[in-house]
Every structure is written in C-alpha cells, then in structure tokens.
Structure 1
Amino acid sequence: MKNRVALIFGYNDYALEIAKNIVDSYNKIYIYSLQSEQDTVKNSSEFEIRSFDLSDKWDDINEFVDIKHSIAFCVLEDNAENIFLTISLRSSFPDLNIIALSNNKETANKLQMAGANRVIPLVQTTAEMIAEMMEKPIVKEVFHNILFENSTLKIAQIRINGTNSYIGKEIIELDWDKKYGVIALSIMYENMRNEFIYSSIIKHYRVKEGDSFVIVGYEIDIKEFEKIVGSECD
C-alpha cells in the first residue's frame, strides 16, 4: 500500500526542524541525505534517514509513495544541487508537491523554473532562531499557511535605517500589525545575535539603527513597510 509521506532532501538543521513540525500531517517522514552532509548534523532517531545520490532515478520512491498526496522538500545547502534535485524530482514526478528553500531571489526564480510548486526564501538568520520561532503556535500557523495553502504571505528581513520614528522605542510599543499589516517574528542585532520578538527578555529593548526585523505579511504591505522604516535584506 502506498503512503502519504513527506520526503525531505537535505540532512541539516532546516530539514530536521521541518520534519518535527509536519510529523502529525503524514504517515511517514523520510530524510534523504547526501554523503557529504552526514558528518555535519546529529542523527535524529525520530526519523528514518536514507542516503541518496543526485543521479538517482527515484524508482524506489514510486513503489511506496502516494505521489499525488505526498510532499517533497528540497533543502540542500548548495544552490546548484538544490536546483538540479528539483529538476530531477519534477521530471520523475509531475504530480508531486515540491517545496524548495532558497537563500536569494535569483535562486528562487531558478527553482520555480525548475518545477518547484512553492519556494520559501530563507532570511539570513540561523536555524536555531527558526527552531525557537517554530515553537510558537502563531508562527507555526503562519509557516503552515505559507507551505500548504494558496497564500501570498511572504517572509522578509528589514533593516532599520536612521530616518524613522521607531528608533528609541521599546519593542513592546511597536504596532506594525495595526499600522502596516505585517507581523514581526524576530529581531537581529548588528552583532548578528537574534531574539524571538515576543520573548519577555527583550520587550523593553529599544530599537537602534542597524537592527533588523524578520516580518511576515503580504508583499504589497511589506514593500510599503520597507519604504517607511528601512531596507529589505536579501
């Protein structure tokens, strides 16, 4: 019997966090690892780890996967490999829902051309921050909508410039959702340290020039917000 499964290609922290947060939605989750990745990330006993090669023909997947009701995540850290993988999967499985991660706009465009149903841009933050964010129900809901629903929600990282009124204000005072329709998820300081936006330890932190905020919203709202408070970081 074929199963509704999630296939995650890439053995890294992003892959493990995705797996943890979709475990209740699929009969089985398989993480596929290139040999070069296996020494860099701790093994997770929660999920079955399988080896693969970019030259694979995927015949074994066809035998046990209900392709039309399953999903594949392409999260290889090398952009060229991720694009090649997406092309290969799309060529073999026209009906498979493919989600790909991208670290820049150019790669995102290539992944879409390669056949990805949806491309999720990665902001320049650590996987540990994403892991912390994903523990919050509201963020998990947003993440689910971006992945699985026909949503136009986007994630962006906005750097605060020196000309806006938010500099000097405490985090707890910010009302971006009411004014601009965007939701702030986290803050990254100039030294690259980051904090979840709703953490009690930073609610009285005062915004400084050069701080960056990871936000979620509709593209038109993000662009308007960017004009007012700062500049977008690719």
Structure 2
Amino acid sequence: MKNRAALIFGYNDYALEIAKNIRDEYENVYLYSLNSEYDILKNKSGFEIKSFDLSDKWDELNENIDIEKSIAFCVLEDSAENIFLTISLRSSFDALNIIALSNNKQTANKLQMAGANKVIPLVQTTAEMISEMLQKPIVKEVFHNILFESGTLKIAQVKIDENNKYIGEAISDIDWSRRYGVMILAIVYEDMSTEFIYSSKIKHHIVNKNDLFIIVGYEADMKEFEKMTGSICD
C-alpha cells in the first residue's frame, strides 16, 4: 500500500528542522541526501536517510508513495541543483506538492518556473537562525500556515525611517505582534550584520534610524505596520 509521506531533498540544518516540525503531519518523513556518506549521517538525525542523485527516475517513489497526498521539500544548498531537482520532480509528478527554499529573488523566480508550488525566501538568514526560529512555538505556527494553509502570509523587510516613533525604545519593550499583527524575525543593522530577534543580545537593542526589520504577517497587517513604522523594502 502506498503511503502519505514528506520527502525532504537535502541533508542540512534546514532539512532537519523541517523534518522535526512536520513529523506529525505525515505517516513517513524521508530525508534524501546527495552525500555519499549518508549512512553515517543517518545515525545523527533520527530520520531515515536515503541516497539519491539528480539523474534518478524516481521509480521508488512511484511504487511506494501516494504522490497526490505527499509533499516534497527541495532544500539543496546549491541553487542550480535545487532548480534542476525541482524540474525533475515536476516533470515526473504533476500532482506532487513541491516546496522549495530560495536565497534570492532570481532563484525564487526560477524555482517557480521550474514547477515549485511554493517558494520560501531565506531573506538574509542563516541555517542556524532558521533552526533557532523553528524551536519557538509562535514560529512553528507561522511555518505551518505558510506550508499548509492558503492564507496570504508574507515575509518582508521594513526599514525604520527617521520619523519613527519607536526610535530610542528598547526592542524588548515593544509588542508589535499585539499592536499590528506582525511578527519580527530578525534585525539587519546598517553594517548588514543580522541578529535573530530571540537572541539575548537583541533584547537590549535600542531602535535606531535605518534598522531593517525582517517581518512576517498577513498582507493587510503588514501594510498597516508599514504606515506606522517605516517603509517595506524589496
């Protein structure tokens, strides 16, 4: 009997955190690695690791997976490989729900053209930041909504302008989630260094002109947030 499964292509921090957070949604969660040492990795992850290469014909998936009820995540660290993988999966499975990670707009556009149902941008974050984010209950809820709901959740960057009323206030004293319905994920400073919002360092940060906030929320709430705080950047 074919099973409903989550297929995660790529063995890295993104893949492991996705696997941990969707394990209750699917009968089986499989991680696929291009790394020839996948047998060693298997002992560290707690998930079943399968080997694959980009020339695979996906015969095993056809035989064992209920494609229409399953989901695939393309999280290979090499953008070109991730695009090629998306093309290969889409050409083989019209009904497969494909989610892909992208590190820039150009790659996101290519992944959509390649057949991804949804592309999640990384917006200047690191694998470690994603890992830490996904351990927070509120972020788990947002992540679940992005993947499984048909809402209009968006991720954007908002730059604090010189007239912002929050300049000079401590970031820990401002509850933007309650006031505006958006969640702050991270701050990008003028020197382009990034700090995750839940880190101990950021709790003492004083809001400054030109701070860049990475936020997630519904489109209508984000527009209201923009009016009150700054301007949304591409």
Aligned residue number for residue 184 of structure 2: 184
- 2:112 corresponds to which residue? 112
Indicate conservation of the 8 Å contact 2:166/2:207, yes or no: yes
Q: Are residue 76 (structure 1) and residue 76 (structure 2) matched?
A: yes
Q: Matched residues in 2 for 1:134 and 1:88: separation?
A: 29
Paired residues for 1:102-181 under 5 Å: 102-181=102-181
* More moved, 101-110 vs 141-150: 101-110
Post-superposition CA distance 1:170-194 (Å, at most 9, x none): 1233243455432223334457252
Distance in 2 between the 1:183 and 1:87 partners?
33
**Superposition deviation, residue 130 in structure 1:** 1.8
Aligned equivalents of 1:30, 1:173: Cα separation in 2: 42
Cα deviation 1:178-231 (Å, max 9, x = unaligned): 55432223334457252334x676444311234332211123543554464245
Change (3 A) 1:37 1:191: farther
Separation (CA, whole Å) in 2 of partners of 1:175 and 1:224: 15
- Structure 2 CA distance for aligned equivalents of residues 42 and 214 of structure 1: 34
Counterpart AA for 2:27: N
Alpha-carbon separation, structure 1, partners of 2:55 and 2:68: 23
Report runs of 4+ in structure 1 exceeding 6 Å deviation. Answer: none
**Aligned residue-pair number:** 230
With 63-72 and 177-186 compared, the bigger mean Cα shift is at 177-186
Residue 61 of structure 1: SS of its match in structure 2? Answer: helix
Counterpart residue type for residue 59 of structure 1: D
d(CA) in 1 for partners of 2:45 and 2:182? 37
Residues 93-136 of structure 1, C-alpha deviation per residue, up to 9 Å, x if partnerless?
A: 11111101111122212211211111111121122222222122
The amino acid of 1:229's aligned partner reads G
Name the CA shift for 1:161/1:78 in 2 (closer, same or farther; >3 Å): farther
Alpha-carbon distance in structure 1 between the residues aligned to 2:223 and 2:36 = 39
Cα distance between partner residues in 2 of 1:37 and 1:206: 46
The equivalent residue for 2:230 is 229
Q: Structure 1 residues 149, 188: CA separation in 2 closer, same or farther (over 3 Å shift)?
A: same
What SS does the corresponding residue of 2:68 show, helix, strand or coil? helix
Which residue is equivalent to 1:11? 11
Structure 1 residues 111 and 37: CA distance shift in structure 2, 3 A: farther
Tell me the distance in 2 between the aligned counterparts of 1:219 and 1:163.
23
Q: Distance in 2 between matches of 1:114 and 1:10?
A: 18
Q: Is the 8 A contact 2:42 2:49 kept in 1?
A: no
Unmatched runs of 5 consecutive residues or more in structure 2: none
Q: Give structure 1 stretches of 5+ with no counterpart.
A: none
1:43 positional shift? 6.0
Whole-Å separation in 2 of the counterparts to 1:45 and 1:204: 35
1:196 to 1:44, Cα distance in 2 relative to 1, 3 A: farther
Question: 2: CA distance between counterparts of 1:42 and 1:129?
Answer: 23
> Kindly tell me: are residues 20 and 209 of structure 1, through their superposed partners in 2, closer, same or farther at Cα, counting changes over 3 Å?
same
Aligned-residue RMSD, C-alpha: 2.6
Distance 1:193 1:117 in 2: 29
